[in-house]
A and B are shown apart, each in its own frame.
Chain A
Amino acid sequence: MSNNTGLDFERPILELEKKIEELRSLSAGEIDFTAEIKSLQSKLDKARRKVFKSLTAWQKVQIARHPQRPYMLDYVGLIFEEFIELSGDRCYADDKALIGGFATLDGERVMILGHQKGRDTKENLMRNFGSAHPEGYRKALRLMRLAEKFSIPILTFVDTPGAYPGIGAEERGQAEAIAVNLREMMALRTPVIVTIIGEGGSGGALGIGIGDRVIMLENAYYSVISPEGCAAILWKDKARAADAAVALKLTSRDQLGLGLVDEIVPEPLGGAHRDPEAVAAALKERLITNLKELTLLPPEELLEKRYRKFRCMGVFEEGIEE
């Protein structure tokens, strides 16, 4: 993965990696570079630890948005034995930014849903950069109801900068589509596991984000507004996004501490894109384990627990003020 699409803070590491690779290819010739490679390697290890062990909230946001970060379909290929994509909201269109269908996980039937971003400009136009329209949320609901009908558990994968803010989206009821999903997901009589794999952008994330378990990848973020949007409104300056990212407490550690997510799946040093297979394997194990626990619960208990989980979220004071 040593190409030049790295983030600013990744660059010294990528440069060292490139140098080592060059020396390795030269080593095939008559000169021996083993000693140089060894010293560079230890330099690299130090640099990696220094940069990646103390990532700021804003750097984590950048990793969550990394152009090489594994997207939903990458995990689908690595985690599930089969995926049959189903299309359309039966109302207006098929949204390629929010996809779903039947899949097989370790021999079991599941319904999977998630935001999908594009790798290049052409694909991003089709995927709308992972920003879904109302038809995406309505397709998601259609597929969730289909899963409920056949008692199939639902796994959602959240990775969106936010639901799309455009004219068509408003005309077709973006807010209504999300609101209905929130109401209906709370009542689905089948287990739902949500995984935030990259960007957890506000209502667009929550629109497929209500479940019995919420898992978050280590460098994913979850926020009520993008750091840039928050900075523009509260600081009146988009350039303060790094400050907003800190204030918004949007990292996986913060979410776990606030009780808003149940568990974190660790990522390799530097982010999921440095070893997608390892992250997928770890996530797969967590999905299987959680699903086994959830399928044991009778639907009534499942629904009561899901309601209680979200019912108690939020911190406020009550009584006589100090």
Chain B
Amino acid sequence: MRIFAKYKRKLRAQKKKDIPDGLWRKCKHCGEMITKKELEASLHVCPKCNYHYPLSAKRRLLITIDEGTFEEFDADLYPSDPLKFVDTKPYPERQAAAREKSKGLKDAIITGTGKLNGIDVAIAALEFSFMGGSMGAVVGEKITRLIERAMDKRLPLIIVSVSGGARMQESVLSLMQLAKTSGALSRFARQGLPYISIMADPTTGGTTASFASLGDVILAEPGALIGFAGPRVIKQTIQQDLPEGFQRSEFLLEHGFLDMIVQRKDLKGTMARLLRYMGGNTKPKTARKAVIKKRA
């Protein structure tokens, strides 16, 4: 009966080490074990390898906007199915699944206003868990309305992108959201208002080919995949392996397409510091003129 005794001992030893479900997770990047608590405290950045996990739009706003100051816009916009798009599943079914996955969002974005270290800003955060953060008519419309309101209220604009690009299920209607958002930014740029674009992992396709690339200042989180075409498509087209680090933030910085790479914990402070330099014109033009007149 010696064998049985041995087995029993082994079982006991394992039971001692057993940890309640969900407390630990293995970093998908470096494979180290991290506690959930540690991960939350580090804003979903692996403390061992600095991998920046995707943040939900809600959490992004939570860590960017001062507590209790966020006011959401256009929460009642939701997607339609104008093309009656069916692939292996009808589009409405995909919308419903995405809604569940994103814990109740109606589309891949939250927009609104709030304070960032006391500075009033208009902000949008994309949501990757909703159909890959893809831009359809709702995302395009909410961004455009946000830009238009930021012009009205003379607010700096911040857009945090986490997006695979245009949404195929809305075909050319989604392609036209590139035109719509970039067009709105063309007006915004002439108002003397600042726009900070943040690129998080991943920012690709139509999102990169429109508003995300049009910031006065463009910041990215470390190691984010940023590009026009996805790496798989490029590999297929050129039939070669891609260089190490290709299309990552560091690669883009080196090639001149980013201003800085900023650690997640430093993003809010960096934006506040930048806005000190770029927020000078956010007061209405007439008010500024009045001040000058007074002095004269």
Question: Chain A: residues with CB nearer than 8 A to chain B?
Answer: 163-167, 169-176, 178-180, 182-184, 186-187, 200, 202-203, 206-207, 209-210, 222-225, 229-230, 233-235, 243-244, 247-250, 255, 258, 260, 306-307, 310-311, 313-321
Query: With the chains together, A65 CA to B83 CA distance in Å?
Result: 24
Query: B209 to nearest A CB, angstroms?
Result: 4
Shortest distance in angstroms between B17's beta carbon and chain A's nearest beta carbon? 41
Known A-B contacts A166-B234, A210-B183; the reply to A224 vs B210 at CB < 8 A is no
Binds A, one of B22-30, B36-44, B165-173, B284-292: B165-173
Judge whether A184 and B186 touch: CB under 8 Å: yes
A224 contacts B229, CB within 8 Å?
no
Binds A, one of B45-53, B57-65, B71-79, B259-267: B71-79
Name the contact of A186 in the complex, choosing from B77, B88, B174, B186 (C-beta under 8 A): B186
The one of B144, B214, B229 in contact with A174, judged by C-beta atoms closer than 8 angstroms, is B229
Q: How far is it, in angstroms, between the C-alpha of A250 and the C-alpha of B185 when the chains are bound?
A: 27
A203 touches B179 (CB 8 A): no
B183 touches A183 (CB 8 A): yes
Q: Is the CB of A230 within 8 A of B168?
A: yes
Q: How far is the CA of A261 from the CA of B10 in the complex (A)?
A: 72
CB-CB under 8 A from B229, the residues of chain A are 163, 165, 169-170, 174
**B183 touching A310, Cβ below 8 Å:** yes
B interface residues, tally (CB under 8 Å): 63
Q: Are A186 and B255 in contact (CB under 8 A)?
A: no
A319–B78 Cα distance when bound, in Å, is 8
Q: Tell whether, in the assembled complex, residue B247 and residue A234 are in contact, meaning their CB atoms are under 8 Å apart.
A: no
Shortest C-beta distance, A156 to chain B (Å), equals 14
Nearest Cβ on chain A to B233's Cβ, whole angstroms? 5
Partner of B213, one of A171, A179, A206, A321: A179
B177 at the A interface (CB under 8 A):
yes
Partner of A203, one of B136, B137, B206, B212: B206
Q: Which residues of A have CB within 8 Å of B66?
A: none
Distance of B241 from chain A, by nearest CB (Å):
10
- B140 located at the interface, meaning its Cβ lies under 8 Å from any Cβ of chain A in the complex: yes
Contact assessment for A316 and B144 in the assembled complex, using a CB-CB cutoff below 8 Å: no
User: Closest approach, in angstroms, between the C-beta of A215 and any C-beta of chain B?
Assistant: 15
User: Do B172 and A249 touch (CB < 8 A)?
Assistant: yes
- List residues of chain A with CB within 8 A of the CB of B257: 173, 176
Chain A residues contacting B88 (CB-CB under 8 Å) are 234-235
Partner of A182, one of B168, B210, B246: B210
